[in-house]
Amino acid sequence: MEQNKIESNAVVLFDGVCHLCQGAVKFIIKRDPRGVFHFASLQSDVAERMLDGKMPDGDFLSTIVLVEGGTYYTRSTAALRIAKRLRFPWSLLYLFILIPPPVRDAVYGWVAARRYRWFGKDDACMMPTPEIRRRFLEK
């Protein structure tokens, strides 16, 4: 993994077994033609090294993490910062940043707590297709 790739692009860390999270990654890739975002599952060695103990254990798999410019964003703030950099009209979702974080994160947490039941999960992390493999960080 090249350090400059991580520094020049935003990295999205996601629950690699969650169908909702996998769908979100595919959604982001389709709406990010400039290739701003790169990805790694929260269960990967890449995520472990990037987080380096910065995430409380309780939050580990229940949140999306955006690493951008050396800053870590989680939950609704991460999701909205990602949306901000997607193609129009999805970038307009960033307006929800005006809602206080406790309110946004309560909704985020409610969905996160039910995501496996509603959307399902796999026994192993998602394997990227050859077309999108270059967007995933490994090792």
Query: What value does the mean pLDDT take over residues 20-26?
Result: 84
**Residue 126: pLDDT band with limits 50, 70, 90:** low
Which among 123, 3, 108 is positioned nearest to 64, based on CA atoms? 108
- The rounded distance, in Å, linking the Cα atoms of 36 and 96 is 21
Kindly indicate the confidence band of residue 120, based on its pLDDT and cuts at 50, 70 and 90: confident
pLDDT of residue 15: 80
Q: What is the mean pLDDT of residues 94-110?
A: 93
Per-residue model confidence (pLDDT) at position 4 = 37
pTM of the full structure: 0.81
Output the average pLDDT for the chain: 81
- Contacts of 123 by beta carbon, 8 Å cutoff, 6+ apart: 17
Residue labelled with tokens 């389709």: 30
Helices (H), the chain: 3-8, 19-30, 45-51, 75-84, 101-119
* Pair 13, 42: CB distance under 8 Å: yes
